[in-house]
């Protein structure tokens, strides 16, 4: 069946189906999530005050990468509410996650059949749909992290520096959405290392790929944080993030750590 019709036909149909399904799901569950209420409030503060400093003044304990809230604020300039802006961002990006799943699956398996199935299963996955209609950072993170994975896989397969450069830039965006995306800073150099150990490429090329990734990542972080005017906040905040995580790791056997924070 996949061979008879062009893949573009299937993918277009999947994307359309994805969009309609998410739109329908949104109508079935209009309640904003708990975290979403916070993001809406922060976006309003940023929009009303005109700069990020307004958020820090309002809540000195604010502790989150700002890209998602920044995008919400930008959409609010079009006259829509913060809640609608958040949902629109996630709905738009969530519609295209099947395409990312297709891309990743194709890079790995080189099979159109598996790739189209992956895209289809992504559309009908309940978690993907739920995350697409909530005002949360998860869908934008999944989109950006997925694109990072796709570009890294393409870079490994094709051995072209352009993919590594793009992966670094997109990874920077993902890190500015969720801190967990920093795992790619550990994962990305593993690929060139294995390529070198497995003798798929020489050590110069491996170092070049890893170096391009890290440089483009650093450039992306700097460019985006300059665009959002959040330079001072970001660099002090990441330090605070690591200190907090390290302090929790220092108490592995306390009853509180058994329960987990916030429970």
Partner 1 sequence: MIQYLFVRLPSLFFEPISVGALLGGITASWYYRKNKKRFYWILIVCICLMFFWRLSSYSLMLSTRYASILLYPAIILTAWFCSRSEEILRSGIQCVSRYHNQIMGKICLVLPCFLITGLAVAGLIKILHYDPYGGHTVNLCSTLARETAGKDFMLYAQSEQQRISYYSGIDYQKIMFLNYKTNLPLQEQLKSIITLSKNHFDNIYFVFSLKKGDPEPDAQTLEIGSELGTWECIHREITSRKKKKELILYRFIPAHPNIEIWEKDIPEISPDNHCLNGDFENCLAGKDLEERLNYYRQLGAADFYLAPERRFPLNWWLVVEKERDGLFSKISLTEEHPIAGKYSLEMNSNNGANWGTNCALVPKQDGVFSGFIRAESDASVLIRSCYWDLDKSTIGYITDYAFRLHPGKTYRFSFPVHMADVPEEDRSINFVVQGIGHILLDNFELIQR
Nearer to partner 1, 28 or 78 (CB): 28
Nearer to partner 1, 222 or 241 (CB): 241
**Nearest distance from C-beta of residue 90 to partner 1, angstroms:** 13
Cβ neighbour number for residue 166 with a 10 Å cutoff: 22
3-state secondary structure of 261: coil
**Nearest distance from C-beta of residue 14 to partner 1, angstroms:** 11
Give the distance from CA 161 to its chain's centroid.
22
**Nearest distance from C-beta of residue 99 to partner 1, angstroms:** 12
**Would you say 196 and 206 are in contact if contact means Cβ atoms under 8 Å apart?**
yes
**Nearest distance from C-beta of residue 149 to partner 1, angstroms:** 7
Helices vs strands, H then E, count in the chain: 13, 0
Give the distance from CA 45 to its chain's centroid.
23
- Binning the chain into helix, strand and coil, the percentages to the nearest 5 are 80, 0, 20
Nearer to partner 1, 21 or 207 (CB): 21
**Nearest distance from C-beta of residue 119 to partner 1, angstroms:** 9
Nearer to partner 1, 75 or 131 (CB): 131
**Would you say 191 and 162 are in contact if contact means Cβ atoms under 8 Å apart?**
no
**Dist. CA 234–CA 236, nearest whole Å:** 6
**Would you say 169 and 220 are in contact if contact means Cβ atoms under 8 Å apart?**
yes
**CA torsion, ordered 204, 206, 208, 213, to nearest 10 deg:** -170
Nearer to partner 1, 122 or 237 (CB): 122
**Nearest distance from C-beta of residue 169 to partner 1, angstroms:** 18
Nearer to partner 1, 88 or 182 (CB): 182
Residues contributing to the site for partner 1 (CB under 8 A): 21, 24-25, 28-32, 34-35, 37-38, 40-41, 100-101, 104-105, 108-109, 111, 113-115, 117-118, 120-122, 124-129, 131, 136, 138, 141-142, 145-146, 149, 153, 156-157, 180, 183, 186-187, 190-191, 194-195, 198, 200, 245, 248-249, 257-262
């Amino acid at each position: 069946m996949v061979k008879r019709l062009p893949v573009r036909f299937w993918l277009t149909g999947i994307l359309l189906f994805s969009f309609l399904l998410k739109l329908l799901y949104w109508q079935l569950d209009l309640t904003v999530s708990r975290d979403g209420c916070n993001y809406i409030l922060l976006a309003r503060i940023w929009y009303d005050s005109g700069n990020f400093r307004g958020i820090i003044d309002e809540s000195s304990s604010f502790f989150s990468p700002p890209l998602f809230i920044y995008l919400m604020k930008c959409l609010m300039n079009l006259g829509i509410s913060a809640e609608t802006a958040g949902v629109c961002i996630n709905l738009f990006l969530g519609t295209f996650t099947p395409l990312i799943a297709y891309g990743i699956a194709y890079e790995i398996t080189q099979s159109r059949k598996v790739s189209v199935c992956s895209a289809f299963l992504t559309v009908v996955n309940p978690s993907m749909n739920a995350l697409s209609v909530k005002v949360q950072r998860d869908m934008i993170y999944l989109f950006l992290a997925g694109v990072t994975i796709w570009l890294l896989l393409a870079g490994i397969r094709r051995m072209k520096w352009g993919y590594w450069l793009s992966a670094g830039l997109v990874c920077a965006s993902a890190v500015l959405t969720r801190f967990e995306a920093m795992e790619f800073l550990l994962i990305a150099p593993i690929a060139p290392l294995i390529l070198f150990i497995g003798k798929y490429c020489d050590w110069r090329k491996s170092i070049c790929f890893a170096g391009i990734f890290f440089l483009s990542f650093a450039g992306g972080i700097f460019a985006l944080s300059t665009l959002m005017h959040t330079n001072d906040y970001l660099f002090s905040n990441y330090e605070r993030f690591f200190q907090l995580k390290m302090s929790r790791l220092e108490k592995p056997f306390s009853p509180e750590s058994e329960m987990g924070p916030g429970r």
